[in-house]
Chains A and B, each alone.
Chain A
Amino acid sequence: MLDRAELLGLFPEILLWDTTLILLVLGMMVARTPARPAAPFVRTVAWLGLHCVLLAIVLVGVGIPITINSIHDILLTDSFTHCCDIFLLVGTAGTIMLIVDHGGRDTLRAFETIVLILLSTSGMLVLISASDLLIMFIAMELQTLCFYVLAASKRDSECSTEAGLKYFLLGAFSSGLFLFGCSMVYGSTGVTNFEELGILALTRSWGVPDPSTGIPIIGILCIVVGFLFKITAVPFHMWAPDVYEGSLTLVTAFFSIAPKIAIFANMVRVLNHCFHDHDWQSLLFFASIGSMILGTVAAMAQQKVKRFVVYSSIGHVGYLCIGFAGGTTMEGIQSLLIGLLIYLFMTVNVFGLFCAVRPVRSQYLGDLGVFGKLHPLFAITFSLTMFSYAGIPPLAGFCSKFYLFFGAIRCGADVLAGLGVVTSVISCFYYLRLVKLMYFDLPGEYMIPPRLDRDNSIVLAITVACITLMFLYTSPLFLVTHYMAMGLFAESGVGFSGSVA
């Protein structure tokens, strides 16, 4: 059965599951009326949830990242999952900190939002550690089902429930497709464990005509398509603008930050171990090109703040997929992890800024003009983040794009690097246009910008510090991501220096 070494790998998940159950029961017991608990109670639940996540960060952080194969090899905990868990929990903690201060403004009326966030975070933690196709699917479904409910959580808003419905319809479709791929792979090989699939991938031929040998291409492609749906890469991004715009801003923040980390981490593990160096590479190549182009072109035409951020995150996903371009090389994976961490900080920052201005109901980009004149600190933070997104040198965004393009050139994917540079230049237009709107344009209507709350300010301060200082002092970033990539490649005994086909 389970022995102590196996449970060590599961401590953060167990903590989050227990907290979810306790908070849910607490909510049931303390609710004033059956339908609507009081806002201070929501704030209490949010603080408890935040402390739970911070405790989980401490638990993961002080744990020794040994490699554990848990529970008959369905979960694999090593240095890669260790650091990805920390990234994910930091992102979740940042998002919950943005939520806690809204208890006073009575916009988050259901404590279940926090409970769902914690539950989906636990699903994502299991997803990062998953080493088996079935566990990967179950964890991904745990995360996604919580997200469907979160998207529809503002029940009296037409936009939010429509966003939830659209997310559900497209998400169910993509989960079915993903599951079809998993079942094809299992049906033809009889194994679901990633390590065993990796061994099979090397030793057998990949022929489709004779289905008794090798893993069918349709299975691999369906799995990759399922992943691309979840990270909103281009041919499969259609649900993202509507869903992200219709949900609550806090929920959109969580959607943009956390699943990208978890699903990219799981993608790296699946594509690196199981389906090593094969036809998924061209699919990710085209997804990357499409995401970069679409994210750039579509973001230019946006008038609303949240849709703008969605398209810019689609573009960023395109840049991150460049890391997969050269097959599974170590530089590619390392640059992807660098890009992911920097994307995490930038996105938490942007959503911190948008959550701060939410009460004044500024939905359109033109409303930003107020801040340059009346709230200079906000404007400076926003400008730094926009410059970082655009990839301007003394900031972290330049660092991430540089290493991604550098990794692409090293692998020989010059098209991706060239296209990435061109789209970065084009994206400078719309990112800097926001800075121009803030400083040089008169807003349509004047409004008094709200004071930033203490928790929001803490999150913004930490993320801006990371964005500005990460370029100057990059060695922690590189050490951590190198350590992660080494952990990923070291424990798989298979060869890993792939090249572009």
Chain B
Amino acid sequence: TLERAPISGAFPFRTGIYGSMTSRNMARAPMRPEPIPNAVNANPATSGHCAGARQMKGEISAISIMAIASAEAAIGSAIVPATYRSARPIRTDQSNSLKR
């Protein structure tokens, strides 16, 4: 049935939201929001088969979203060593150099 796709996509979505809110380790922090685009992919990938069946809009959306999510993960993972090189905070709640 069609309603299972958003529901099963909601579980990794919730995991990603929880993870990106509570990550305390700086090296893990950029990887925590990764389940979110994965979960979101579930919707167009299944709906593309059913509703907009003239063009494969859903499947192509899923591939594009995957590409962008991986680019985002790469950039996040590249920012972390730059932070580590200049200021060595391992925990995210220790990065307070911008506090007023």
Contacts and interface: CB of A to CB of B under 8 A. Distances in A.
Interface of A: 72, 134, 137-138, 141, 145, 148-149, 152, 155-159, 161-166, 168-169, 172-173, 175-177, 179-180, 182-184, 186-192, 211, 241-242, 245-246, 302-304, 307
A158 B6 contact: no
Contact of A172 (B72, B83, B97): B72
A402 B26 CA distance: 46
26 contacts: A137-B68, A138-B68, A145-B75, A152-B79, A152-B83, A155-B82, A161-B85, A162-B97, A162-B98, A165-B30, A166-B98, A169-B33, A175-B72, A176-B37, A179-B40, A186-B43, A186-B47, A187-B5, A187-B44, A187-B47, A189-B51, A190-B52, A191-B52, A241-B98, A242-B98, A246-B97
Nearest to B61: A134
Interface string B61-73: 1001100100110
B87 A161 contact: yes
B72 A180 contact: no
A152 B30 CA distance: 14
A158 B86 contact: yes
Contact of B36 (A179, A211, A246): A179
B95 A165 contact: yes
Contacts of B80: 165
Interface in B45-65: 46-47, 50-52, 55, 57-58, 60-61, 64-65
Identify the interface centre among A145, A152, A169, A307: most chain B CB within 10 Å of its CB.
Answer: A169
B61 A162 contact: no
Interface SS majority for chain A = helix
A173 B30 contact: no
B40 A159 contact: no
Interface in B6-33: 6, 9, 13, 16-17, 20-21, 23, 26, 29-30, 33
A162 B80 CA distance: 9
Contacts of B51: 189-191
Most chain B CB within a 10 A radius of its CB, from A137, A141, A162, A188? A162
A148 B50 CA distance: 36
Contacts of B95: 162, 165-166
Given A155-B86, A190-B51, A169 B37 contact: no
List the 8 closest pairs (A to B, CB-CB), nearest first.
A190-B51, A176-B36, A183-B43, A187-B43, A158-B87, A172-B33, A190-B52, A161-B83
B40 A176 contact: yes
Contact of B13 (A157, A180, A304): A180
A77 to B, nearest CB: 21
A314 B23 CA distance: 27
Interface of B: 3, 5-6, 9, 13, 16-17, 20-21, 23, 26, 29-30, 33, 36-37, 39-44, 46-47, 50-52, 55, 57-58, 60-61, 64-65, 68, 71-72, 75-76, 78-80, 82-83, 85-87, 95, 97-98, 100
B45 to A, nearest CB: 9
Contacts of A242: 98
Contacts of A303: 100
Contacts of B42: 183
Nearest to B20: A173
Contacts of B61: 134, 183, 186, 192
A430 B16 CA distance: 41
Contacts of B17: 173, 176
A204 to B, nearest CB: 14
A192 B57 contact: yes
Given A173-B33, A190-B52, A211-B3, A141 B87 contact: no
Contacts of B39: 180
Contacts of B87: 158, 161-162
A183 B82 contact: no
Contacts of B72: 141, 145, 168, 172, 175
A169 B26 CA distance: 10
A394 B80 CA distance: 48
Contact of B100 (A161, A165, A304): A304
B44 A186 contact: yes
A168 B79 contact: yes
Given A161-B87, A162-B87, A172 B20 contact: yes
Contact of B97 (A134, A158, A168, A192): A158
A365 to B, nearest CB: 12
A304 B100 CA distance: 8
Contacts of A246: 97-98
Contacts of A183: 9, 40-44, 61
Contacts of A72: 55
